[in-house]
């Protein structure tokens, strides 16, 4: 691995943040990425004809309330101030998510005031009706479970807003990098002490108990050990992208399809992530992406870890193996086998001792 002080294996947001911190601390840093490009699942591609930034692995909206994270990313990119709003299609009618006055009043044909919402939704029949419409079918598609196996009590854990705020996130800061997500990764890695090698997966030889220099690995932890105990379970996603001869298809960036009879979970329309770009917004074509959820199998891209007793037990067995290898550090979404929002990945990387 040459004359490097530290190796970062995986050029997603956790790995790229770590690489930058190591370099700024004066450490010669080698970044290995198995894909031909950096960026992990936040990678985007720009459609040459329309100029639309397409999120290759599904929509990513940066949002955070962590000052240190916001300060860090703003060193490299500026955000456009996009505010994320999600619509839900139920039986051909559109409702704003998350659950709040806008959704409840439209769904039940009421005009509730903020102080009345909690009492109104305390009724079990109403709670079940909302759950059945907006959560049961969507969750069954997302996690591959039959609708009757989804517990209606889940709705009690869903935040209910007693106002008309239809912003999907509560975080203080949110937006999309004005120059696109790829610019964030390019600038994070633009340092004289960072060397990037794409199409270069990190491999751990069987029986290795010590590494020459510190390695920070963010690939799948089970893959690192050759799946010796078996595969950790994941949910994967499949996408169908289509360019349409119309200026605007759905009027917003994301519409969730909550009816189990609709095979896809949501439709993304990417031009809405850059409302500041008049040329893109007014162009006479648009790009949409239908998203389908499926059970993961070897060779698929892992997206969402399946959290249950057996997966937790399997994960601990792999973590025990990793703990026996000196100089090996594991993190990120795949390595940690947990779903991270982007800001939480950066926060975790900023917390690593340098």
Laid out side by side, the sheet with 266-269 consists of: 93-97, 86-90, 254-257, 266-269, 286-295, 234-244, 304-305
* Number of C-beta neighbours around residue 31 at 10 A: 28
**DSSP readout, 273-333?**
G-TT-HHHHHSS-EEEEEEEEEE--TTSPP-EE--SHHHHHHHHHHHHHHHTSEEEEE-HH
Q: How far apart are CA 311 and CA 90, in angstroms?
A: 33
Block mean pLDDT (10 aa), the chain, length 354:
90 98 98 97 97 97 98 98 95 94 97 95 92 92 77 58 93 96 98 98 94 97 96 97 98 96 97 97 98 95 92 96 97 93 97 92
**DSSP readout, 93-162?**
EEEEESSBHHHHHHHHT----HHHHHHHHTSHHHHHHHHIIIIIHHHHHHHT--GGGS-GGGGGGS--BS
CA atoms within 13 A on the CB side of 278: 0
Q: What is the DSSP letter of 211?
A: E
The full set of domains in the chain, from first to last, is 6-45+54-83+174-234+307-350 (3.40.50.720), 99-157 (no CATH), 235-295 (no CATH)
pLDDT for 145 equals 78
Q: How far apart are CA 79 and CA 59, in angstroms?
A: 16
Q: How far apart are CA 11 and CA 14, in angstroms?
A: 7
pLDDT for 287 equals 98
pLDDT for 196 equals 98
pLDDT for 159 equals 62
pLDDT for 152 equals 58
Could you identify the residue written with the tokens 């198995």? 34
Taking phi first (over 0 means left), then psi (-120 to 50 degrees means alpha), and beta for anything else, what does residue 259 get? beta
Residues belonging to the active site: 157, 161, 235, 266, 291, 339, 341
Given a contact cutoff of 8 angstroms between Cβ atoms, the answer to whether 326 and 298 are in contact is no
Q: How far apart are CA 70 and CA 62, in angstroms?
A: 10
Given a contact cutoff of 8 angstroms between Cβ atoms, the answer to whether 232 and 311 are in contact is yes
pLDDT for 160 equals 75
């Amino acid at each position: 691995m040459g004359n490097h002080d530290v190796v970062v294996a995986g050029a997603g947001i956790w790995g790229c943040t770590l690489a930058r911190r190591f370099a700024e601390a004066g450490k010669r840093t080698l970044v290995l990425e198995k894909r031909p490009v950096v960026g992990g699942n936040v990678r985007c591609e720009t459609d040459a004809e329309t100029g639309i930034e397409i999120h290759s692995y599904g929509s990513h909206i940066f949002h955070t309330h962590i000052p240190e994270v916001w300060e860090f990313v703003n060193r490299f990119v500026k955000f456009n101030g996009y505010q994320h709003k999600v619509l839900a299609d139920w039986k051909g009618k559109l409702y704003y998510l998350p659950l709040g006055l806008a959704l409840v009043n439209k769904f039940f044909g009421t005009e509730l005031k903020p102080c009345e919402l909690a009492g109104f939704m305390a009724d079990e029949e109403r709670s079940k009706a909302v759950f059945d419409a907006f959560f049961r079918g969507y969750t069954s598609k997302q996690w591959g479970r039959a609708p009757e196996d989804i517990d209606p009590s889940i709705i009690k854990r869903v935040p209910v807003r007693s106002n008309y705020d239809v912003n999907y996130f509560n975080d203080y800061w949110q937006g999309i990098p004005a120059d696109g997500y790829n610019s964030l990764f390019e600038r994070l890695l633009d340092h004289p002490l960072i060397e990037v090698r794409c199409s270069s997966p990190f491999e751990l030889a069987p029986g290795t108990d010590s590494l020459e220099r510190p390695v920070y690995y963010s690939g799948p932890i089970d893959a690192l050990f050759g799946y010796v105990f078996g595969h950790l379970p994941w949910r994967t996603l499949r996408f169908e992208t289509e360019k349409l001869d119309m200026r605007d298809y759905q009027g917003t960036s994301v519409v969730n399809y909550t009816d189990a009879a609709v095979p896809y979970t949501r439709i993304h329309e990417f031009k809405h992530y850059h409302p500041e770009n008049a040329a893109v917004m007014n162009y006479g074509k648009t790009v949409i992406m239908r998203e389908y959820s499926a059970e993961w199998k070897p060779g698929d891209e892992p997206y969402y870890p399946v959290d249950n007793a057996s997966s937790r037990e399997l994960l601990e067995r792999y973590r025990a193996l990793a703990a026996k290898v000196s100089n090996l550090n594991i993190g990120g979404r795949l390595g940690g086998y947990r779903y991270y929002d982007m800001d939480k990945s950066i926060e975790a990387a900023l917390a690593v001792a340098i």
